[in-house]
Structure 1
Amino acid sequence: MEQFNYNNELSGKIALVTGGTKGAGKAIADRLLQAGATVIITARNAPEQENNNLYFIASDLSTAEGAQKVVKEVLSGYGRLDILVNNLGGSSTPAGGFASLNDEDWESTLHANLLAPVRLDRGFLPQMIERKAGVIIHIASIQGKLPLYDSTLPYAAAKAGLRNYSKSLSNEVTPKGVRVLTVSPGWINTTASEAWLGEIARNSNSTVEEAQQGVMNALGGIPFGRPAEPAEVAEFVGFLVSPRASYLTGTEYVIDGGTLPTI
């Protein structure tokens, strides 16, 4: 059995983290960097705090051109990619259920949350398969199983599609040496979610703590009593892409503090 260096277990690996400038994506990028990987991050806008140890590519992955730009720049600059973390995602559609959504709402959400990973996988998989090595992580969401129809209908549908696609892709490429895994977080405590809670509190004339409890109630409760911290998600992703997880593939892992009511 291969011997692992736990202190620098990703040394020599090239990793790409999409949406790697903020929130869970930033935490994942930092975690892979700490494990010795060469880490590339991509987002539409540069990170607020520059880290010279991370290579940044500005790109809009909600477009086919943006995905092609990233694939071309990574492969031309580094020659290969060992680890792909498809973390980019989010919802900016209006609340109000199906009647409040138009085609543009649906299309923009599906492009960012489903088609961006599909395009990047398609771009990077050939060289992984040729080398019979590689790990792809799809960051989905518990909303793939627990949709909030009033506020995030397209997002929930896209993440459900991502979960199904990830399993199908794993069945195809695992025999060719590439591991594919899905990580589905629940609510994560990010600067964006803090701003969102502040907006809820102002609109409802309540405290931020009351707003947070209201969101947890809407999810059916979080037994752990709080959202996840980005570093908690990143730590698990760091394990999954490491040699220690060499037999894990085709599986979805939920990080939700017990939110989902069923197993």
Structure 2
Amino acid sequence: MARPDPTEFTYQRILVTAGTKGAGRATVERFLAGGARVITAARAKSDTLSGVEFVQADLTTPEGTAALADAALTRFGGIDVLVHVVGGSSSPAGGFTALSDAHWQAELDLNLMTAVRLDRLIVPQMIARKAGVIVHVSSIQRTLPLPESTIAYAAAKAALSTYSKALSKELGPKGVRVNAVSPGWINTEATADFLKLIAEGSGGTLEEARQSVLQALGGIPLGRAAEPTEVAELIAFLASDRAASIHGADYVIDGGTVPTV
């Protein structure tokens, strides 16, 4: 992969959620490499994360998103690029009957409402300047759900993708670009935790859990999961001036997993 232009995002003020691990961390590091000022938030701070403004907050709550938005606008005076990476699933395997109302609410709060709430707080200052970029990280499960393990997550991501498209229609005429990125399997810590959750629910091994997910996905034609840096590169492209005419799109990065056009 080519070395990033160290001036590509100079003077850009960028907010990335969940920027201490996985694809979120890779995205933070990609923007830093391009010269941006970056702020992020997570429930727990990483001691190895440097050069970034940090807010310790639970973004699944209204109070957490408000704390991050207030810190971002106060410290930076505004946000030019808003990237929603936060997401995931902690619900048990076992299909729809295994999920309680609490499981459903938790998945919706993490995968949908975090973005909705933060957009509501951050986007008005973009509209006032008639400039800004929003990238929502969805999932291929928006169209390829895995009902045995992540039905609530898949539904929440489908809602996020629909919300993102609707927002693009409203904000495009106001100078704010909105796009989505839908990864397939990414090689992250969260993926490992997800496989452990499936293994615990089924009573099987981690390898059996991995194979069950691959079977449910129908395989990955490219033969491997995406690396966090590859997802970050796509996000950076969509946030850059190189993508100035790309708006209301949803880019799949899944190694060919989704079998349809």
Normalising TM by the smaller chain, what interval?
over 0.9
Shift of 1:215: 2.3
Tell me what 2:176 maps to: 178
* Counterpart position of 2:204: 204
CA distance in 2, matches of 1:131, 1:82: 10
Q: Does 1:26 align with 2:25?
A: yes
Give the aligned partner of residue 38 of structure 1. 37
User: CA RMSD, aligned part only?
Assistant: 1.7
Tell me the residue number matched to 1:14.
13
Counterpart position of 2:140: 142
SS in 1 for 2:119: helix
Sequence identity, in percent? 52
Q: 2:229 matched to which residue of 1?
A: 231
Amino acid at match of 1:223: P
Q: CA deviation at 1:77?
A: 1.3
C-alpha spacing 1:200/1:66, structure 2 compared with 1 (3 Å): closer
Q: CA deviation at 1:192?
A: 2.7
Aligned residues: 256
2:99 is matched with 101
TM-score by length of 1: 0.92
Q: Give the letter for the 1:31 counterpart.
A: R
Cα offsets for 1:134-162 (capped at 9, x unmatched): 00000000001001111111100000000
Inter-CA distance 216–247: structure 2 relative to 1 (3 Å threshold)? same
Q: Which amino acid aligns with 1:17?
A: V
Structure 1 residue aligned with 2:54? 56
Q: Distance in 2 between matches of 1:121 and 1:11?
A: 23
Structure 1 stretch displaced more, 41-50 or 237-246: 41-50
**Per-residue deviation, 1:214:** 3.7
Q: Which runs of 5+ in 1 are unaligned?
A: none
Structure 2 stretches of 5 or more lacking a match?
none
Tell me how far 1:49 sits from its aligned partner.
1.7
Secondary structure at 1:50 match in 2: coil
Name the CA distance, whole Å, in 2 between partners of 1:103 and 1:14. 38
Give the Cα separation in 2 of the matches to 1:158 and 1:196: 17
Q: Report the CA distance between 1:125 and its aligned residue.
A: 0.8
Following the alignment from structure 1 to structure 2, what is the Cα–Cα distance between the partners of residues 200 and 66?
Answer: 29
Q: Is the 2:111–2:157 Cα contact (8 Å) retained in structure 1?
A: yes
| Post-superposition offset of 1:48 | 4.2
